[in-house]
Amino acid sequence: MQISEKTILGKWKEYTLKNDMGMSVSILNYGGIITKMMVPDRNGKKENIVLAYRDYQGYELNPHYFGALIGRVAGRIKGATFTLNNEYYSLEKNDGENHQHGGSDGFHQIIWETETFQQKNTVGLILKYKSKDGEAGYPGNLDVVVTYTLTNDNQLRLHYTANSDKTTPIALTNHSYFNLSGNLKETVKNHEVMIDSSQFAELDKHLIPTGRLMKVEGTSFDFRTIRKLGTGFKGDFEQNKIAGNGYDHYFIFDHTKEYNVVLKDPTSGRVLAVKTNQPGMVMYTSNSLDEGQELTDISSSKYLGICLETQESPASLEQKGFPTVILQAGEIYKRETIFSFKIEH
């Protein structure tokens, strides 16, 4: 197990965690951004399996949130407002009339305090941040700790804890775009996906949940048995069309299977299995990814990556039936998502 660090652009630190199996993960203290994830294919060839900018300057704006920690609330808040305990809160409108991913100065744009650790079979990075009462419009002084742990079993564990002195909304996630082909050789159209979910949130034309939970059965959203991702890109289902001929939807987990999500690339043999105590996940298939941005291996294009944003749903601020984002004052927020990387021969 190894940890190395280097200075980036004279102002950030990048930490690289490496296990004894040759897998490595590189993370910035800026935004908690995962900049590289080197994972072997079925032939033992190690390649990067996340989208990343060719030049680090791209992360200064990072409009697509590549690899970043998202907070205080991941997802979209309708009208950039919410009411809590009879108090009205107004947030930044950074997605049309709505508030998205904690605002333009959210957790993806801050310098986190960092601390590394190394044990016999694990190596990791702890990130800490104190978000002050009123920051980005949210109530409460919020203490957040996020831990990235890499194991010798090729697991990357993301552990989130937080507490606030006022009742407040919170939904933390990581916004890495995965592409298991390695070094962005292909889009994710031929990736195969299993999601342990029998219902998802219907979206309106602004990508805001309508309040209706739809059954996946008989639709291109039925991933209860593994299926090719691209089948939903070219279908006639209205919900795929609304999202730009893809997916940008919240799935509620049934928690009936060993893993909540399994992602496979048949060509490389890489498999990503996801296990979490989060109630659901936004699956986003980079339908709105701008073309022409210089990434590590090629220029950006639609369907180049898939985000598996395990989280609660901000729709719960105004709709019933969604997993709540409300953290009570003095309560401990504790979530974990484990990404396990395997090989299928």
Known catalytic residues are: 175, 309
Token readout for 85 is: 């305990």
Q: What's the rounded Cα separation, in Å, for the pair 253 and 161?
A: 21
The letter for the amino acid at 131 is: S
Q: Is 20 helix (H, G, I), strand (E, B) or coil?
A: coil
Q: Is 278 helix (H, G, I), strand (E, B) or coil?
A: coil
Q: Is 108 helix (H, G, I), strand (E, B) or coil?
A: helix
Cβ-based burial of 143 (10 A; exposed 0-12, middle 13-18, buried ≥19): middle
What are the CA-CA distances from residue 42 to residues 149, 154, 266 (Å)?
23, 14, 10
61 CB neighbour count, 10 Å cutoff: 9
DSSP state of 189: T
Phi and psi at 140, nearest 5°, equal 95, 140
Contact 217, 237 (CB under 8 A): no
Q: What's the rounded Cα separation, in Å, for the pair 191 and 189?
A: 6
Find out whether the peptide bond into 72 is cis, omega within 30 degrees of 0: yes
Contact 306, 123 (CB under 8 A): no
Beta strand 326-327 with 12-18: parallel, antiparallel or unpaired?
Answer: unpaired
Token readout for 120 is: 């016999």
Cβ-based burial of 300 (10 A; exposed 0-12, middle 13-18, buried ≥19): buried
Q: Which residues contact 233 (CB under 8 A, 6 or more apart)?
A: 189, 240, 245, 246, 285, 303
Distance of CA 141 to the CA centre of its chain: 24
